[in-house]
Amino acid sequence: MKKIFVILLALLFTACSKPAANNEAKNEESNGKLNVYASVYPIYDFTKKIGGDKINLSMLTKPGEEPHHYEPSSDDIKNLSKADLFIYNGAGLESFTDKIIESNPDLKTCQASEGVDLIKATHDHDHDHDCCQNSDDADHNHNHENENNHNHENENNHNHEAKENHSSHEEEHHHGIYDPHTWLSIKNAKIEMENIKNKLSEIDPDNASYYQKNFDKYAKMCDDLDKEYSQKISVLPNRVMVVSHQAFGYLCGDYGLSQVPIKNISNEDEPDAQTMAQIIDYIKKNNIKYICVEEMTSTKIADTIKAETGAQIKVLSPVETLTQEQMDKGEDYFSIMENNLKILEEVLS
């Protein structure tokens, strides 16, 4: 009887100790820090800047991987089940977010683009002069949780045409009708960093002051970089750039520029013969000297246009992804955007 009692006591102790052991293992795995996943590079970089050494941060897309083509693996879904927070850009960039959230219904999430004034994507390739000038004066949507409180009559003060309000962000996400490259506006990058700061502070209030301090530092860097862009671009003689990918609408909108895209928002559809002819004709008529292409993408189409027009090729980054080599060298959002400004000074001179 005494032996049975001892055995039962031992079993009871073992059973009671298992949850504690599991919690201890989880704490060892996270080192007491938040386990955070970011969807794509710009969100990863913003989160890294705000979270610093208080979080364990992972990126879903691999360095150098095009975010438009990414699909989460079963391992990605499994790893996210252990995450404290999943941060994504939104605005239709990540087609995979629904799959992730449905697979992990208890996962805390942060949509970094919440509150950003979204630009409606244009899908046609009519590159006559008037269309080009208006290519970035597209519809905007105020992506706010409390957007019904806005006075929409005042939206006419924006330097954009044809505003249209959509009450459902879910509609925007599923239809993919907005330009998702929100971070290419430095003002938007600041908004996204603030959203990340707020979410980290909400779920980790003990480190809220740390996150706030980091945000203040990078918010000032955003303000300084935005001012530098404004000053340097304002004196340039040209306002139109030909780009391989229709990704620069937010940047153009901030500084009074327009883009003539060879490919559309998704960077997938190849231009047909008519579109190519229109672009070539536009470049010749307007004496465009440069074609801006992305790193890590084929320049075959741009090379064809170059051969027909004599325009030179320059690399202008949409900061969608960085290679591992770039990351190892310490490149980040700010260094890439600084380099983009140098390219724009040359392209628009």
pLDDT at 129 over 50: no
* Under 8 Å between Cβ of 212 and 281: no
pLDDT band (50, 70, 90) for residue 158? very low
Residue 212 pLDDT class (50, 70, 90 cuts): very high
Name the nearest CA neighbour of 48 among 196, 191, 181. Answer: 196
Burial of residue 103 (CB within 10 Å: 0-12, 13-18, 19+) is: middle
Question: What pLDDT was estimated at residue 64?
Answer: 92
Cβ(160)–Cβ(138) under 8 Å?
yes
Q: b/e string for 218-230 if b means 16 or more Cβ within 10 A?
A: bbebbeebbeebe
Q: Do domains 32-118+176-235 and 237-318 have the same CATH topology?
A: yes
- Give 48 or 161, the one with higher predicted confidence: 48
CATH class of the domain at 32-118+176-235: alpha beta
Quickly state the pLDDT bin for 32 (edges 50, 70, 90).
confident
- For residues 289-295, give the mean pLDDT: 95
141 CB contacts (<8 Å, ≥6 apart)?
117, 118, 120, 164, 165, 166, 172, 178
Dihedral pair phi/psi, residue 46, rounded to 5° = -60, -40
Are 226 and 253 within 8 A, CB to CB? no
Is 171's pLDDT higher than 80? no
Compute how many other C-beta atoms are within 10 angstroms of the C-beta atom of residue 137.
18
The Cβ of residue 277 has, within 10 Å, a number of other Cβ atoms equal to 13
pLDDT at 29 over 80: no
Give the separation between CA 155 and CA 158, rounded to whole angstroms: 6
Neighbours of 324 (CB within 10 A): 10
Residue 148 confidence (pLDDT):
37
The arithmetic mean of pLDDT across residues 258-262, rounded, is 95
Architecture of domain 237-318: 3-Layer(aba) Sandwich (3.40)
59 pLDDT band, cuts 50/70/90, is very high
* 133 DSSP 8-state letter: H
Closest C-alpha to 172, from 118, 98, 246, 228? 118
Structure tokens at 179: 């330009």
Residue 130 has pLDDT above 70, yes or no: no
- Per residue in 266-279, pLDDT (tens digit) is 656 688 899 899 99
Domain boundaries, the chain: 32-118+176-235, 237-318
DSSP letter for 233, please. Answer: H
